[in-house]
A and B are shown apart, each in its own frame.
Chain A
Amino acid sequence: MSKIRLENLTKRYGVVEVLHGINLDMAPDEFTVLVGPSGCGKSTTLRMIAGLESVSSGEIYVDDTPVSHLDPKDRDLAMVFQDYALYPHMDVARNISFALRLQKRPKAEIAAKVREVADLVGLTDFLSRKPGELSGGQRQRVAMARALAKDSSIFLFDEPLSNLDAKLRGQMRAELALMSQRVRKNMIYVTHDQIEAMTLADRIVVMEGGHIQQQGTPEELFKRPANRFVAGFIGSPPMNFLNGTLTETPTGLAVQGDGFAITLPEWAGRDLASSASREITLGIRPSDLRFDPEAPEGAGFDLNVRVSEYIGAQSVLLCDCGSVSFTVEVKSETPIALGEKLRFGCQAEALHLFDKTSGQAVLNNKHP
């Protein structure tokens, strides 16, 4: 039930600044996911919250109390590590109860807690095994159980699923989602996998280069990315980007570029009327395109289909639009011939426009 607030959090290693003033508010019981590519500072942020890294400047507040000067043990939090970090010389029960034993709780209470938590993660039959005798998924569960046993108000996860194989990862992800619903606590989860972020988060924080790029619900980030980086990072397959110029045409404002011309809807034209002849990047998600030979002028792309990747109900087509590669996701029944030039239509609502130099969104897919 705690509220976490990061205020101007900065981290420097020598003269190199890796986090540039992070400001973040996390509501009580919120599942926050920090997501971003390697080296974006997400793990550093988490480790600073945990107290494993010192804070160069700025402050971390838990329930409005500054905590950045406290040792990890005094911060009332539990953490699941990427490599599980199980104590190899203790069996599962002792691993789970380590924190409780340090707190010198009564033996009966510890035993009851271990049983309860082991039951929750399905480890009851393995309590007397050593971590070396467990599979990767079971070790992951032990790590979770150890964090759960501690009864802290804050849960930190540092890429907990990245060492599991794909199938197990999906399964553990679902279990984690279930667990987070049952155990309402403040959870902060770091991952580089945007699917984990989308499925688990109440709030996603996208980071890059030591800055927060955007934060919001998964839907907000997917539908209204604040800049080109977030647009490209969230969503799979990633969004297509085409460079072009805003031009006045008799039918209204349009984006023209190498091999395409898209007319913007009237409401968008009003917003952007002043910025005609501006250099712009047009973004469109692969799933927002449909195979439509009859798509009218200014509402479709002529694409040269190079490769078709069949993935079941959907197929991903790798195409060329002019000289730029372009991805389209279509229903697998769609009659596609490789090497042909086909026309795909798109809704005006699906368009995203970004400033070409700054990458900031100038028009997001918003319905009028």
Chain B
Amino acid sequence: MQSDRPNPAFYPLLAALIFMAVGPIVLMLANSFKLDVDIISGTSGLFFLPTIQNYETALCDVLWYEPEHLDFCQFKFGGAFINSIIIALVSTALTLVLGCMAAYALVRFRFMGRDAASFTTLMVRMVPPAVLLVPVFGLWNNDFCIGKRTWLGELIRDSFGGRGDVCLEGTHSGIILIYVAMNLPFVIWILQSFIVQVPRSLEEAARVDGAGPFQVFFQIVLPLIKPGLAAAAIFTFRIAWNEYLLASALSDRDTKTVPILIVNNVSEFNIEWGVIMATGMLLAIPPIIFTLFASRQIITGMTAGAVKG
């Protein structure tokens, strides 16, 4: 007979899981309120004098006052944060727009090489980003450039300054482009499985009702795959937000993202643990907000009642 009472071993297991999940965050939160001395001294624990000094250092370029303990604000969190937001949001939006259209085409249209295309999109995802790094770095620096002598190149140079050719390297677009390429296969793959579930007769009914192909897509299919779009958005945003390797190579001083900024804080002479922890906490906030917002769209049973049941 099945008992409603869980096995006693369940509770320690649950506690262990919670500890593993929450532990690092608690540690990070606690350390972000400590001075570096307290962190390194090894007297770890919850007995310390909390300070917001780390947060002041991290946010020095956006604060309205000058923190007392700082002579010079060298840590440009605000700028990096805006870079991260731009890159993550734009690459997510682009990936979703391209992804849902590609997925729809792969599911619904019949054309030569459809299966091969569908399979290849997933295979591309299997290539580790590190493999892409070297060729992409070369292309972005040398090939995808607008010559400084062309009128467009001159226009850009005149407006934004700088010397040499205008290249993708070091621009937001360069990073966004590689993130879109990286995430697109997976998004296509996720959305395909959602689009397959949209009953074909719904699209046929819409066509008979007088909808053109784009109206069918935007008014019937898209609302029905909202949960899939939300899942794909969370996934894409998270990857774009956290990505380090490609961004470290492809960004420059003005376009670097928050993960790069944090690592730059580690120098030969000093590791500012407190600031790193504080930045880490701040870094975690946007994905949480984004996920909460997007996951509201994930309502199960969206297609309930569409067809016989």
Contacts and interface: CB of A to CB of B under 8 A. Distances in A.
A146 interface: yes
B239 interface: no
Interface string A32-52: 000000000000000000111
Contacts of A52: 204, 207-208
Contact of B204 (A78, A85, A103, A131): A85
B199 A73 contact: no
Given A81-B201, A83-B199, A88 B208 contact: no
A78 B305 CA distance: 20
Given A52-B204, A163-B308, A88 B302 contact: yes
Contacts of B209: 73, 78, 98-99, 102, 146, 150
Contacts of B224: 88-89
B5 to A, nearest CB: 36
Interface string B190-211: 0000000001011011111111
B207 A71 contact: yes
Interface string B284-309: 00000000000000000111111111
Contact of A85 (B211, B215, B307): B307
A143 to B, nearest CB: 8
Given A78-B208, A98-B206, A136 B305 contact: no
Contact of B205 (A79, A89, A134, A139): A79
Interface in A96-140: 98-99, 102-103, 130-134, 136, 139
B162 interface: no
Interface residues on B, range: 20 to 34
Contacts of A134: 305
B223 interface: yes
A290 B207 CA distance: 54
A72 interface: yes
A87 interface: yes
B306 A85 contact: yes
Name, among B205, B224, B301, B303, the residue most crowded by chain A CB atoms within 10 Å (CB to CB): B205
B308 A73 contact: no
A50 B209 CA distance: 11
Contacts of B302: 88-89
Contacts of B201: 81-83, 85
A361 interface: no
B220 A87 contact: yes
A189 interface: no
Nearest to B309: A136
A102 B215 contact: yes
A-B pairs, 4 with minimum CB distance: A132-B305, A131-B305, A83-B307, A99-B209
